[in-house]
Amino acid sequence: MERPRALISVWEKKGIVKFAKSLSEMGWIIVSTGGTSLKLRESGIIVTDVSEITNHPEILDGRVKTLHPAVHGGILARRENSNDMKILNELKYGAIDLVCVNLYPFENVAAQKPPVSDDILIEMIDIGGPTMIRSAAKNNKDVIIATNQSQYDSIINELTKSNGKSSGINTLMRKKLALEAFQSTAAYDIVVSNELENRFINHQMPMKIQITSDVGKELRYGENPHQPASFYPSNAIEASGLAATLQHGGKELSFNNYLDLDGALRIAKGLIIDIDNEYSHGCVIIKHTNPCGVAIDKHQSKAWENALASDPESAFGCVIAFTTIVEKETAELIGNHFFECIIAPGFDEAALDILSIKKNRRMLTINDLSARKDELRIRQIEGGWVVQIQGPPNIDWSTAKCVTKRSTNEDEILLAKFGCTVLSEIKSNSVALVSKTDTGMATVGIGPGQTSRVEAVHIAARRAGPQAAESMMISDAFFPFKDGIEAANKIGVKTIIQPGGSIRDQEVIDAANEYGMSMIFTNKRLFLH
């Protein structure tokens, strides 16, 4: 009986010596190429070069090594097909029973700074590797396909049970390995396609949406208990965002937790742009993806107190984000307040101990809390997807214009910047009331997601109560009528920030002048649907 053959050709060589040695000790013939062959030989493993079975040297600086009928015939031949096996025998090609391949590190090279040249990057597009993977996966009934180190031990364990016979790998396992193989080449092709589109075409928007992910993590349920749900991390080189958090205590995150944490992070990352040396701490309180309160302050504890004061009723069962490491004093002030999660760049040991006293609280450390940037955001709709560039408000305040008799000062502009950052992540139509505090800035009332802008003003006013007096009102879109200005005047608003652009702008400006308000047109709408 012929000894089984394994073709091993990998770029990432971690674990490969142990894998190949185990196969060799079970009587397998090891066929290999280039650097893999060299490493295995250095480890004392007997190796047959691919060129020995193809009777053809590697050519074109290694571009062509395994693209040969002796290789792919050996992989694709159907063992139960007599004609296939007859052809192999006539051509003196041996069957290949296991293929172990991982691919050139295209993504790693593409991510290098400064960027490598197109010529260098092109050489990182693997040809022979994906071809062998696809051939082996297609013929999984007869060929075992391994594409990553995590599979090596389970393959060896099953082969050991069958004294090294490839038949020891059952049908279910073969199909699972084949599926993982096809998924690996699909993800690889998407990375290549996206990177080359950026380099060759460089459109602001992609020609096609092509995304790939890491293995999904099943969640307890979706938005409601009857809905199955999972979280799929990006398969980028380095995990980021919510995929890169370290959870301290509590049960697994839910679907709704992920959405709320995402909303909290977007505002927190926006605040980092507004935070300076004077206001170094930011706090965001989220409920059902909308902020209840947001504050920046010289002191973290005050940022928490002021954010909570904006809407303490809605903040029951909230998600909280801090832009700085959570301090003991802040944790003590949070006390018994009911929250689902806190996310921050870290936690003082004492703060973590205090916050962990109550059961099921989840504290998450995120290491990459950096200022928000413009990014591609994708949403699925019936029949397809809509895509847009989304990021911080990016308002050019040098072109913003005060349109009223009463002017604004530099401090009000700073407050407006803070308010616009918050408002840009509130569901439209919305308004936010913001004020200066003793040591920072904070929302005092938020009117989110209303079909009527006047109604949004009324909600914000009710939540602000007496704090509405002397506040600044930020609107995500223009006021179509003066009734919104009239409502703002009744609660004591002194400054209004809005994009402008209504056919009744003059009517609105006249109303602001009548009530002694200042009004700035930013020329930028901040809708969030």
Tell me which residues are annotated as active site.
Answer: 138, 288
Mutual orientation of helices 505-514 and 483-490 as an angle, nearest 10°?
20
215 within a domain of the structure (yes/no): no
The domain in which residue 136 lies consists of 5-200
Q: Are 447 and 493 in contact (CB under 8 A)?
A: no
Q: Nearest-CA neighbor of 143 among 87, 186, 100?
A: 100
Overall number of domains in the chain? 3
23 within a domain of the structure (yes/no): yes
Question: Are 174 and 314 part of one and the same domain?
Answer: no
Q: Is the dihedral of CA 305, 308, 311, 313 positive or negative?
A: negative
Residue recorded with tokens 């370290």: 246
- Cis ω on the peptide bond leading into residue 202 (within 30° of 0)? no
CATH of the domain at 49: 3.40.50.1380
Q: Which of 200, 231, 264 is the last residue of a domain?
A: 200
Instruction: Give dist(CA 411, CA 386) in Å, integer.
Output: 38
Q: Are 219 and 242 in contact (CB under 8 A)?
A: no
Question: Are 404 and 358 part of one and the same domain?
Answer: no
Instruction: Give dist(CA 460, CA 487) in Å, integer.
Output: 11
Which residues lie across from 376 on neighbouring strands?
389
Question: Are 78 and 149 part of one and the same domain?
Answer: yes
372 within a domain of the structure (yes/no): no
Question: Are 338 and 480 part of one and the same domain?
Answer: no
379 within a domain of the structure (yes/no): no
404 within a domain of the structure (yes/no): yes
Q: Is the dihedral of CA 289, 291, 292, 298 positive or negative?
A: positive
CATH of the domain at 455: 3.40.140.20
214 within a domain of the structure (yes/no): no
**Radius of gyration (C-alpha) of the chain in whole angstroms:** 31
Question: Are 247 and 331 part of one and the same domain?
Answer: yes
Question: Are 268 and 336 part of one and the same domain?
Answer: yes
The three-point CA angle 450-456-461 to 5° equals 155
Question: Are 48 and 166 part of one and the same domain?
Answer: yes
Question: Are 167 and 38 part of one and the same domain?
Answer: yes
Question: Are 14 and 93 part of one and the same domain?
Answer: yes
Which residues lie across from 294 on neighbouring strands?
284
User: What is the pLDDT, as a whole number, of residue 121?
Assistant: 92
Question: Are 398 and 362 part of one and the same domain?
Answer: no
User: What is the pLDDT, as a whole number, of residue 145?
Assistant: 96
Per-state percent for the chain, helix, strand, coil, to nearest 5: 40, 20, 40
Question: Are 362 and 409 part of one and the same domain?
Answer: no
User: What is the pLDDT, as a whole number, of residue 466?
Assistant: 93
User: What is the pLDDT, as a whole number, of residue 34?
Assistant: 84
> What are the 10-residue block averages of pLDDT along the chain, 529 residues in total?
88 93 92 90 90 83 82 90 87 91 91 91 91 94 94 93 89 95 94 90 84 89 94 84 91 94 94 80 95 95 96 94 97 95 96 92 92 89 90 91 92 92 92 94 93 91 92 93 92 94 94 95 93
80 within a domain of the structure (yes/no): yes
Q: Which of 139, 172, 200 is the last residue of a domain?
A: 200
Pairing assessment for the beta strands 384-390 and 230-231 based on DSSP bridges: unpaired
User: What is the pLDDT, as a whole number, of residue 211?
Assistant: 86
Instruction: Give dist(CA 403, CA 510) in Å, integer.
Output: 10
Question: Are 334 and 475 part of one and the same domain?
Answer: no
305 within a domain of the structure (yes/no): yes
What's the per-residue H, E or C state across 188-211? HHHHHHHHHHHHHCCCCCCCCCCC
